[in-house]
Amino acid sequence: MKKITEPEKLQKWCETRRNAGAKIALVPTMGYLHAGHLSLIEAAKKEGADEIVVSVFVNPAQFGPKEDFGRYPRDPKNDEAKCKKAGATVVFMPADEDMYQKHHSVYVDEKELGKGLCGGRRPGHFRGVCTVVAKLFNLVQPHVAIFGQKDYQQVQIIKRMVRDLNFNVKIVMAPIVRDDDGLALSSRNTYLPAEARQNALALNAALEQAKADVKAKKRLAWAPYRTQIVRSLRAKSLNVDYVELVEQESLKPVEVLEKDTVLLIAVYAAGTRLIDNAIM
């Protein structure tokens, strides 16, 4: 496995491999890798990639001024070892100043899908996401890029960016990976004290109950059902940010809990923001 830190060298290497006929997959991450990230590498293999480029970059552009950029967990040596063991062929670990040069002034901003949910709560977040992903697409020129379902809104926004800006890349959404107790894996889970982590299991419990209810009853009025979910989360000392039901691609709110809708939840557990979702 190669480790590359300079964007220009990554671009040249990827261009050489692409011209040689290799199929290239990109797995963008912010590092502190866990089994969820490694499942994205496995998904890249299933797509038939000859070269798998994993980027490890804590992107400052997607953090707000009062968010956790400074304390976001980092372990580059361990990340590099995990990438090698999982079968990545390149790990890209650039410095902030190499990705955002002095007087950087050009950003990519999606205007519709990012209005609500996490975009509504974190102004500028998805502008930072789209900008760094667009830069990675330009550097790697991947045939396929793999993203995790846990960041469902992000995946839909990236798909829209690819469509609207004519990027020649296939976007694959890999399933959420959960711990044995059902908690969705996240680098931020390391922030959670034991009690808060136990309380956070209420997110997956609510999602699983919704899926079971949809299967049994087919269609349910959303407003009272949402109230029920919020009550169950608050009973576990979780500060509810949002509980929303939306269409899969447009992310527009819907009024009936039924098949093919997406239920998304964001809460604060002991001050740590957690997100989860399920496709009904």
Active-site choice (34, 37, 125, 143): 37
Measure the CA dihedral 64/141/1/177, to 10°. 50
Distance of CA 211 to the CA centre of its chain: 22
Give the single-character DSSP code of 219.
Answer: E
Inter-residue contact 146 to 25 (CB < 8 Å):
yes
Inter-residue contact 263 to 210 (CB < 8 Å):
yes
Closest by CA to 234, choosing from 259, 207, 202, 257, is 202
Q: Would you call 37 a catalytic residue per the annotation?
A: yes
**Do the strands 239-247 and 261-269 form a parallel or antiparallel pair, or are they unpaired?**
antiparallel
264 vs 247: CA distance, rounded Å: 11
Q: Give me 269's structure tokens.
A: 């557990």
125 vs 248: CA distance, rounded Å: 20
Residue 260 makes CB contacts below 8 A (sequence gap 6+) with 248, 279, 280
Inter-residue contact 257 to 210 (CB < 8 Å):
yes
266 vs 277: CA distance, rounded Å: 9
Catalytic residue positions, numbered: 37
